[in-house]
């Protein structure tokens, strides 16, 4: 069950017991999301992207369900290991920009699978993880996705094989190719095109005597926020069919999904702690905001489904967080400008319930002004 559909009375009970701000996590929904991807991508081994939400309960549930983990730092490695992950078998270090101290730490405890996209990363991996397995990340189209990761990451296609050869020359083991179609990708064609480009890299690599054996299709699988038409099963069927057409079943396939596993398994409950009228507009101030769970409103103009525990007449409100910064407003339009939203009338101590709050919320929250991130409670 999506926790957003919990009866409001039940949410109020949980808040009475645990306080606000509060994340309510549905174990059942988390497992349903993980199992669905596993089922729909039968050729793929899943490595949950820890950056999406590193809360220990989430990692433990996914570990017990059989997930591996994509990690980006020593902190994420420790979180995954704490949840029971075996560094060699269960972890991949898929971030292309790595702190060398973290490479050395990872290698020292057995993690030997790293992704890179430039010559200096080859040098860093060769220095601190000699002989490790490496994947080159290629730049693929992120068109239509919400977070455009190719703006920062990925080697140009023509550089991929020279980079793999350079890695081999520096004593590393070129193992495969990775890509990321961008987070919250709504168009399966992005994966189809990226697999086509990957096939080209494999063919070119073979001409140079490199026998690649693995493709990492990254993350990108979407979550329903407001109104999007999401068809994970259909998307996966397209990916699976195209992979089989291009590669048979010989090549190992892995993915690093985050958002689609944890996004709609979590809701946030935040309380009105202050209210005012400013230039004729009603403002509500909550005990969580953009420096907390709503960072993606600022970064990507994300909009989350919202409801209240009140049932008065609809009123227009600007929704703001508790910090000293005026950017701490989480009702914004698609251009990022402050806008009013319509909600049933709310006053002090009333509750705002936001859905699909599992991905890049807790993990992106800051300690600004001394505010702590929300607490967690796990249900069912
Ligand atoms: C290297 C890498 N892998 C996986 C992910 C997870 O992507 P998503 O949450 O879109 O599935 C990200 C997201 O930024 C990423 O950078």
What is the C-alpha to C-alpha distance for residues 85 and 321, in angstroms, rounded to an integer?
Answer: 36
What is the C-alpha to C-alpha distance for residues 364 and 296, in angstroms, rounded to an integer?
Answer: 8
What pLDDT sits at residue 163?
A: 98
For residue 48, the CA-to-ligand 1 centroid distance in Å is 9
What pLDDT sits at residue 227?
A: 85
Task: Name the residue with tokens 């996209």.
Answer: 117
The CATH superfamily of 264-379 is Lyase, Ornithine Decarboxylase; Chain A, domain 1 (2.40.37.10)
For residue 219, the CA-to-ligand 1 centroid distance in Å is 5
User: pTM for the full model?
Assistant: 0.97
What pLDDT sits at residue 36?
A: 98
What pLDDT sits at residue 235?
A: 98
- Give yes or no for residue 183 CB within 6 A of ligand 1: yes
In this chain, the answer to whether the domains covering 27-263 and 264-379 adopt an identical fold is no
Mean per-residue pLDDT pooled into runs of 10, the chain (380 residues): 96 98 98 98 97 98 98 98 98 97 98 98 98 98 94 97 98 98 97 98 98 97 93 97 94 97 98 98 98 97 96 97 98 95 98 98 98 96
CATH architecture of 27-263: Alpha-Beta Barrel (3.20)
- Give yes or no for residue 290 CB within 6 A of ligand 1: no
- The domain segmentation of the chain, as residue ranges, is 27-263, 264-379
What pLDDT sits at residue 128?
A: 98
- Our answer to whether residue 324 is catalytic in this structure is yes
In order, the DSSP letters of 97-161 are S--HHHHHHHHHTT--EEEE-SHHHHHHHHHHSTT-EEEEEBP---TT-SB-GGGT--B-HHHHH
The residue to mutate among 220, 228, 358, having the most atoms of ligand 1 within 8 angstroms of its beta carbon, is: 220
Counting every residue written for the chain, the total comes to: 380
What pLDDT sits at residue 338?
A: 97
């Amino acid at each position: 069950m999506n926790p957003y559909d919990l009866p409001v009375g039940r949410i109020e009970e949980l808040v009475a017991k645990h306080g606000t701000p509060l994340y309510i996590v549905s174990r059942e929904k988390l497992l349903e999301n993980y199992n669905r991807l596993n089922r729909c991508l039968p050729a793929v081994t899943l490595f949950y992207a820890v950056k999406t939400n590193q809360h220990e309960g989430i990692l433990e549930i996914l570990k017990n369900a059989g997930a591996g983990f994509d990690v980006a730092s020593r902190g994420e490695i420790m979180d995954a290991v704490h949840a029971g992950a075996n560094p060699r078998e269960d972890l991949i270090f898929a971030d292309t920009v790595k702190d060398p101290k973290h490479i050395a730490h990872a290698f020292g405890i057995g993690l030997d699978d790293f992704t890179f996209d430039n010559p200096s990363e080859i040098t860093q991996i060769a220095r601190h993880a000699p002989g490790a397995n490496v994947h080159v990340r290629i730049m693929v189209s992120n068109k239509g996705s919400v977070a455009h990761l190719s703006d920062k990451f990925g080697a140009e296609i023509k550089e991929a094989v020279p980079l793999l050869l350079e890695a081999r020359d520096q004593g590393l083991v070129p193992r495969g190719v990775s890509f990321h179609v961008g987070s919250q990708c709504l168009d399966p064609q992005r994966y189809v095109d990226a697999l086509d480009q990957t096939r080209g890299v494999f063919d070119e690599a073979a001409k140079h005597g490199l026998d690649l054996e693995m493709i990492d299709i990254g993350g990108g699988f979407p979550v329903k926020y407001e109104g999007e038409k999401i068809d994970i099963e259909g998307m996966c069927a397209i990916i699976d069919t195209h992979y089989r057409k291009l590669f048979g079943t010989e090549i190992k396939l892995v993915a690093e999904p985050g958002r689609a596993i944890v996004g709609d398994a979590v809701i946030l409950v935040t309380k009105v702690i202050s209210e005012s009228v400013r230039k004729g507009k009603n403002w509500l101030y909550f005990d969580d905001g953009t420096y907390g769970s709503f960072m993606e409103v600022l970064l990507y103009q994300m909009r989350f489904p919202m409801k209240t525990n009140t049932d008065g007449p609809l009123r227009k409100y600007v929704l703001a967080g508790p910090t000293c910064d005026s950017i701490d407003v989480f009702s914004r339009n698609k251009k990022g400008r402050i806008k009013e939203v319509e909600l049933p009338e709310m006053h002090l101590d009333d509750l705002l319930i936001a859905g699909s709050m599992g991905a890049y919320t807790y993990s992106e929250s800051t300690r600004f002004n001394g505010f702590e991130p929300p607490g967690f409670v796990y249900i069912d």
